């Protein structure tokens, strides 16, 4: 009897030991998996994962830097590998958490044409926009302000005095030479000074006004600024730039390109330009802490340059009300659908992809417009894009929909035994820039004076060309369909 029990104990121990060896995941891996499965990718959850690492530095030394901080790159790789093993594969961009204590440098343009934006009689939209940027920046202690025109000059006051200043142009009178704005120097210096722990913001009217433009043709100025922009930004390919167009009350002297100023009272567009490393820009675009900072209130239009490499998180929905026909998502490759068949009655195949497109910083006007996309497939599939609303999410589809913002529904008659579907959101040069551009600003009575900016398109086109190295798509979804 004793021998029998011994035998049985050995068997149980052998089986249990073998089973345990199969499931040897660490507390860190369990925590990461749990966060991904529960879609709890918040700062609090990230902090709790960091505390697991810091609580056992010997075991998790691979995830710590030499100075005892979290190694974001290594932790990111672990998260990526665990996320890729889930169904559907899940992603968590933690780069932004590594940007704790990021700094913000504001470059506040103080050219002659900027002063009337903060006239006491106006509503002060420009100053409010700058104040919002400072207030919504998560690390307010790290904010620095510079005044720019012919050069870059540090603001002499404090952040609080800047926020409370009711007439910022009066209090910064005499700083630099307000008669011209040297874009080459400003953007060049900003790009140089910007590093991986810094976000730079330029508040500007985007009017290129070099010194002494009397008797110079507008076209010559446009060509000059276009080349200048391309040259400046081509040397900084790792950077990304987001531009936001806002409108503000304007009451004062306006300085046109022919140097014959006139009085103007009305509204004028102004611009907020955010410059950062591409990776930093990707991270802040998806980080909730930066949401109010990055999604600028009251912006009429926006565009982000150098966004070609953005990775969009997406997955096919296995069950969805619009689905027609049959398919099975391949477990090894979620971009592959197997056993694909059209609906028995109609022959139509319809399936839906959920994607997180918010990080692209585009409006629904662009994202939900099928015309913004290029779709290629042998079966001539058509797409429809809709925003995900909270009422669409339930417990069962939560894993597929949570964290996603849009549904891309693909419909068509599946032909042949195999098809490759490619869905691309084209990164076209935005139309609003052309519509906001004027080539003559010599009179306030010219049509569109209050809504357009002199030479805007030429400068921005120069930046677009500098960054655009072909394959101008924001993202591409590649799907393989096998019958």
Partner 1 sequence: MKHSIFLAIGIAITIAFYALSYSTGANVFEMLYFNQGFNDQLFNLQMYPVMAAIIALMAWGGAAVYYYVINSVKFDRWYHWASVLAVCTLLAPIACYAYIDNKFAHAGLLYIDESIHFVTQILFIEALLFIVASFSIRWWSSNCRHTPFPQ
Residues that bind partner 1 in the complex, under the rule CB under 8 A: 1, 3-5, 7-8, 11-12, 14-15, 18-19, 22-23, 33, 37-38, 85-88, 318-319, 328-329, 331-332, 394-400
Between 81 and 161, whose beta carbon lies closer to partner 1? 81
Q: Phi/psi at 136 (nearest 5 deg)?
A: -90, -5
Minimum CB–partner distance for residue 24 and partner 1 (Å) = 11
Separation between Cα atoms, residue 405 and residue 390, nearest integer Å? 10
The answer to whether 263 and 252 have CB atoms below 8 angstroms apart is: yes
Between 38 and 156, whose beta carbon lies closer to partner 1? 38
Residue 406: Cβ within 10 Å count: 20
The answer to whether 229 and 134 have CB atoms below 8 angstroms apart is: no
The answer to whether 54 and 76 have CB atoms below 8 angstroms apart is: no
Between 157 and 318, whose beta carbon lies closer to partner 1? 318
Separation between Cα atoms, residue 180 and residue 209, nearest integer Å? 5
Minimum CB–partner distance for residue 30 and partner 1 (Å) = 9
Between 22 and 345, whose beta carbon lies closer to partner 1? 22
Minimum CB–partner distance for residue 305 and partner 1 (Å) = 38
Q: Phi/psi at 475 (nearest 5 deg)?
A: -160, 160
Between 8 and 432, whose beta carbon lies closer to partner 1? 8
Minimum CB–partner distance for residue 332 and partner 1 (Å) = 6
Separation between Cα atoms, residue 275 and residue 264, nearest integer Å? 31
The answer to whether 419 and 337 have CB atoms below 8 angstroms apart is: no
Minimum CB–partner distance for residue 42 and partner 1 (Å) = 17
Between 15 and 382, whose beta carbon lies closer to partner 1? 15
Minimum CB–partner distance for residue 402 and partner 1 (Å) = 11
Residue 416 Rama label (left phi>0; alpha psi -120 to 50; beta)? left
Q: Which residues contact 156 (CB under 8 A, 6 or more apart)?
A: none
Which SS3 state, helix, strand or coil, does residue 178 take? Answer: coil
Between 317 and 424, whose beta carbon lies closer to partner 1? 317
- Taking Cα atoms as reference points, which of 44, 29, 39 lies closest to residue 79? 29
DSSP H stretches of helix in 23-144 = 27-37, 43-55, 72-84, 125-136
Minimum CB–partner distance for residue 23 and partner 1 (Å) = 6
| Count of residues in the chain | 483
Minimum CB–partner distance for residue 2 and partner 1 (Å) = 12
Place of tokens 């504001």: 106
Between 399 and 472, whose beta carbon lies closer to partner 1? 399
Minimum CB–partner distance for residue 351 and partner 1 (Å) = 12
Separation between Cα atoms, residue 375 and residue 358, nearest integer Å? 20
Between 15 and 300, whose beta carbon lies closer to partner 1? 15
């Amino acid at each position: 009897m004793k021998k029998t029990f011994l035998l049985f104990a050995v068997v149980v121990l052998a089986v249990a030991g073998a089973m345990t060896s199969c499931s040897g995941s660490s507390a860190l891996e369990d925590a990461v998996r749990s966060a991904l499965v529960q879609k709890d990718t918040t700062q609090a959850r990230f902090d709790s994962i960091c505390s697991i690492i810091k609580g056992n530095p010997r075991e998790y030394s691979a995830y710590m830097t030499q100075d005892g901080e979290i190694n974001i790159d290594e932790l990111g790789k672990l998260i990526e590998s665990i996320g890729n093993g889930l169904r559907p594969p899940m992603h968590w961009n933690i780069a932004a958490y590594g940007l704790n204590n990021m700094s913000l440098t504001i470059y506040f343009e103080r050219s002659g044409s900027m002063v009337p934006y903060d006239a006491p009689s106006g509503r002060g939209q420009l100053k409010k926009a700058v104040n919002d940027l400072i207030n919504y920046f998560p690390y307010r202690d790290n904010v620095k302000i510079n005044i720019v025109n012919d050069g870059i000059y540090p603001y002499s006051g404090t952040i609080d005095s800047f926020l409370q200043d009711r007439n910022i142009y009066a209090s910064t009178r005499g700083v630099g030479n307000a008669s011209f704005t040297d874009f080459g120097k400003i953007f060049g210096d900003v790009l140089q000074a910007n590093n991986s722990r810094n976000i730079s913001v330029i508040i500007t009217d985007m009017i290129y006004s070099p010194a002494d433009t009397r008797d110079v043709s507008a076209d010559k100025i446009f060509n000059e600024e276009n080349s200048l922009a391309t040259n400046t930004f081509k040397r900084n390919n790792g950077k990304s730039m987001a531009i936001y167009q806002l409108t503000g009350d304007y009451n004062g002297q306006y300085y046109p390109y022919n140097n014959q100023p006139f009085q103007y009272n009305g509204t004028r567009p102004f611009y907020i330009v955010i410059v950062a490393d591409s990776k930093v820009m990707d991270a802040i675009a998806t980080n909730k802490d930066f949401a109010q900072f990055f999604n600028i209130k009251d912006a009429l239009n926006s565009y982000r340059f150098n966004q070609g490499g953005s990775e969009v998180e997406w997955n096919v929905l296995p069950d969805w009300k619009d689905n027609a026909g049959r398919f099975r998502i391949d477990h090894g490759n979620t971009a592959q659908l197997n056993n694909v068949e059209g609906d028995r009655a109609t022959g139509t195949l319809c399936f839906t992809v959920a994607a997180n497109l918010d990080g692209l910083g585009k409006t629904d006007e662009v994202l939900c417009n099928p015309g913004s996309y290029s779709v290629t497939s042998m079966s001539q599939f058509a797409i429809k894009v809709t925003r995900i609303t909270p009422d669409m999410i339930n417990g069962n589809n939560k894993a597929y929909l949570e964290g996603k913002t849009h549904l891309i529904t693909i419909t068509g008659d599946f032909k042949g035994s195999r098809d490759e579907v490619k869905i691309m959101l084209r990164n076209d040069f935005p139309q609003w820039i052309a519509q906001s551009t004027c080539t003559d600003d010599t009179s306030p009575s010219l049509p569109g004076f209050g809504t357009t900016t002199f030479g805007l398109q030429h400068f921005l086109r120069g930046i677009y060309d500098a960054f655009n190295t072909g394959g101008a798509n924001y993202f591409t979804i590649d799907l393989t369909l096998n019958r």
